Amino acid sequence: MKAEAQGILRKMHSRLENPVKYQISLGDMLVPLNDLIEKQIKLEYSGIIHCINCGRKSSKSFNQGYCFPCFQRLAQCDACIISPEKCHFDQGTCREPAWAEQNCMQDHIVYLANSSGLKVGITRATQVPTRWIDQGATQALAIIRVRNRLQSGILEVMFKQQVSDKTNWRAMLKGEAEPLKMEEEAALLLKECDSELNELKEHFGFFAISVLNGIASVGINYPVVKYPEKVTSFNFDKHPVVEGTLLGIKGQYLIFDTGVINLRRFSGYDVKLSH
């Protein structure tokens, strides 16, 4: 087994192909992972963490890769990122208005996805289909386009009264979700929420909320040769060495014959990959 790369871990890069193409990001290196499936690989955490924003050494990672000062200071770590309906940009209290202009005050997509069952979600328009892949969705359908993150969050809150906004990650990692007729699910949801949707159009303006008609759902196939019957997750903080035969990749998870690991969770960790 030889060392392939070592560096600060970040979320995997993905590209929508059949199946999805993955690369692991370690420092300045991007290592293709699909060719390593069914091979023995090892990931070793050195015990060192660097903030993915400022680069400083940190004893602990906050919010998937940030040091505590950056976690407190950055807009991308604010509570409104998790709950976009709480966006306070228009109140003048955003931590970083320039960052928000580039990321929050941009077109967003409200979508339906099938990862462990039907769910509603939101993402920047530029993050389609990456967001769907990161969630391990096997089907996804964009249903509405809005002008900013706040509007998408308000729509998500409305829709999740009818449809879940959560993914059961353990179920997602145990196999393919039962196929759904996504266009029919979208039509039913929009019909259920028609009056509330019209009220929001009147509030934000007719052109702020656009229902997307005539768009086909996207099917996503992942490079997995075998799903685990029981999901056991690895944690670098408890077990710095993760190794086994790589059986697949789905979402931001590596699936081994010995367990699974969410690489995004350990962004900022110094990791060596060997195979």
Lookup result for tokens 């195979």: 275
Whether 61 is covered by a domain: the verdict is no
Instruction: State pLDDT tens for residues 208-244.
Output: 999 999 999 999 999 999 999 999 999 999 999 999 9
Given a cut of 80, is residue 265 above it in pLDDT?
A: yes
Whether 64 is covered by a domain: the verdict is no
The per-residue pLDDT for 206 is 83
Lookup result for tokens 């928000």: 100
Phi-psi region of 92 (alpha: psi -120 to 50; beta: other; left: phi over 0): left
User: Cα separation of 272 and 135, whole Å?
Assistant: 25
Instruction: State pLDDT tens for residues 43-55.
Output: 999 999 999 999 9
> Domain boundary residue among 217, 236, 253?
217
Whether 60 is covered by a domain: the verdict is no
Whether 58 is covered by a domain: the verdict is no
How many domains does the chain divide into? Answer: 2
Which helix H or strand E contains 118, and what residues bound it? Answer: strand 118-124
Lookup result for tokens 């969770």: 265
Q: Which amino acid is at 30?
A: L
Given a cut of 70, is residue 15 above it in pLDDT?
A: yes
Ordered alpha helix ranges (H), 85-242: 97-103, 130-134, 149-159, 169-173, 182-192, 194-204
Given a cut of 80, is residue 269 above it in pLDDT?
A: yes
Report residue 3's pLDDT band, with 50, 70 and 90 as the boundaries: low
Given a cut of 90, is residue 4 above it in pLDDT?
A: no
Instruction: State pLDDT tens for residues 175-215.
Output: 999 999 999 999 999 999 999 999 999 999 989 999 999 99
Range of the domain at 252: 3-53+222-274
Whether 241 is covered by a domain: the verdict is yes
211 and 232 housed in the same domain: no
SS3 125: helix
